Amino acid sequence: MGAYILRRLLLMIPTLVGIMALNFVIIQFAPGGPVERVIAQLSGTDVSATSRISGGGSDFGGAGGEASGSVTAADSVTSKYRGAQGLDPEFIKELEAQFGFDKPPLERFLGMLWDYARFDFGESYFRDIKIIDLIAEKLPVSISLGLWMTLISYAVSIPLGIRKAVSDGSRFDVWTSGVIVVAYAIPGFLFAVLLIVLFAGGSFLDIFPLRGLVSENWDTLSWPERILDYFWHLALPLTAMVLSAFATTTLLTKNSFLDEIRKQYVQTARAKGLNERQVLYGHVFRNAMLIVVAGFPGAFISSFFAGSLLIETIFSLDGLGLLGFESVINRDYAVVFATLYIFSLLGLIVNLISDLTYTWIDPRIDFETREV
């Protein structure tokens, strides 16, 4: 097992490099960029997602053709950026140097990888704060939403899926399937708006808060009151996120259990005189849960980092989802690439933990003897 873990850890290196390289190349063709955003701010115009640097490519990629004909070197600098006419070319060069765009793309990419390997993520382009501190500041919101959503959805999905498998075709199975389909079809953000209208001071009741993760008087509360206040703020966001989250896991659990229940070893266990509970949890559960465990990393990473942008916006929760969205819109590529690196690394580690969990659930699985 030690050799397998070592191989997986070593494979993370080229995987991370590939992920970063692919996204770095994509950014070279993305319109706009930090330099152009500063220019737009100076000229009083907004940076749009469709604005492009004349000459083909973004300023992040160092794009821009050479001056032709009688165009001077100074004019060449300003002509690379829309709206830069009239600005001092030396000022434009200083902006490029400030953001690191005065270096060739390959040099910037290799330098970024070296810094990230040492977990040196630098500072945000447009916020006077280190990126690692910025992520730590937003992390509690994303941890709260992602962790509780995953735990609640699995706590509901697994028992419900088992019950549906045992009572397959019954009235309970039919009406719960209908509820699951309807819940899955309702967009989370739309249900969030409905919850606000009904319970957060909309047109009906005003029971739950609409902003923040805790109340303003959090520091003055006792520990029991802090716990209640924390979950009071999370009630509506989690309800909106969990609504459709458990559908896939419930049906996956049901189908996995149905497949195992129909196998010969289950009939043999029943013939030995074991009751249904012993058969179900002593024999079927271990085998049926393997496929459910396989889906955990994807569900966890999705809910933790990617699935809460709209919910964070609707409920005014300043988390990593909103941070990533704002960083892309504001062309704060330093934050974009740092969060991409951290999330990719965490995803790879969680996938390794998932594989190791296989061996904990079923010791018959041996990754050591599997060919890579």
**Residues 145, 100: one domain?**
no
**Residues 198, 256: one domain?**
yes
In a domain, 15, yes or no: no
**Residues 99, 240: one domain?**
no
For residue 145, give every residue at least 6 positions away whose Cβ sits within 8 Å of its Cβ, in sequence order, or none: 234, 237, 238, 241, 303, 304, 308, 311, 312, 317, 319
Global pTM?
0.71
**Residues 153, 87: one domain?**
no
In a domain, 117, yes or no: no
Residue 180: alpha-carbon gap to chain centroid: 24
- Residue 77's pLDDT is what? 54
- Residue 62's pLDDT is what? 39
In a domain, 318, yes or no: yes
Cβ–Cβ contacts within 10 Å for residue 68, how many?
A: 7
In a domain, 192, yes or no: yes
Helix (H) or strand (E) holding 96: helix 89-99
One-character DSSP codes across 159-196: HHHHHHHHTTTSHHHHHHHHHHHHHHHS-HHHHHHHHH
In a domain, 4, yes or no: no
- What are the C-alpha distances in Å from 319 to residues 124, 190, 216, 231, 350? 16, 20, 18, 16, 21
Interatomic CA distance for residues 55 and 288, integer angstroms: 57
Residue with structure tokens 């029943």? 270
Helix (H) or strand (E) holding 109: helix 105-117
Interatomic CA distance for residues 77 and 93, integer angstroms: 8
The encoded tokens of residue 45 equal 């115009």
- Residue 240's pLDDT is what? 87
Beta bridge partners of 123: 130
Q: Tell me, what CATH number does 311's domain have? A: 1.10.3720.10
pLDDT mean values, one per 10 residues, the chain (372 residues)? 82 92 84 74 55 37 38 52 63 75 86 91 86 88 83 88 89 92 85 88 81 84 90 89 82 88 85 83 80 70 65 83 82 88 85 76 63 46
Report the number of secondary-structure helices (H) and strands (E) in the chain: 16, 0
**Residues 306, 259: one domain?**
yes
Residue 232: exposed, middle, or buried by beta-carbon count in 10 A (0-12, 13-18, 19+)?
middle
In a domain, 123, yes or no: no
Angle at 116 between CA 111 and CA 117, to 5 degrees: 100
In a domain, 255, yes or no: yes
**Residues 96, 143: one domain?**
no
For 350, what's the count of Cα atoms within 13 Å in the CB-facing half-sphere?
Answer: 17
For residue 221, give every residue at least 6 positions away whose Cβ sits within 8 Å of its Cβ, in sequence order, or none: 215, 229
Judge whether 228 and 173 are in contact, CB under 8 Å: no
**Residues 73, 165: one domain?**
no
Interatomic CA distance for residues 256 and 253, integer angstroms: 5
**Residues 188, 320: one domain?**
yes
Q: Please identify, among 71, 105, 139, the residue that sits at the C-terminal boundary of a domain.
A: 105
The dihedral formed by the CA atoms of 306, 311, 313 and 316, expressed in degrees to the nearest 10: -120
- Residue 316's pLDDT is what? 81
**Residues 143, 55: one domain?**
no
**Residues 138, 100: one domain?**
no
| Number of domains into which the chain is organized | 2
- Residue 175's pLDDT is what? 93
In a domain, 272, yes or no: yes
**Residues 241, 288: one domain?**
yes
**Residues 319, 216: one domain?**
yes
- Domain of residue 49: give its range: 31-105
Angle at 134 between CA 133 and CA 140, to 5 degrees: 95
- Residue 18's pLDDT is what? 94
Q: Which residue type occupies 352?
A: L
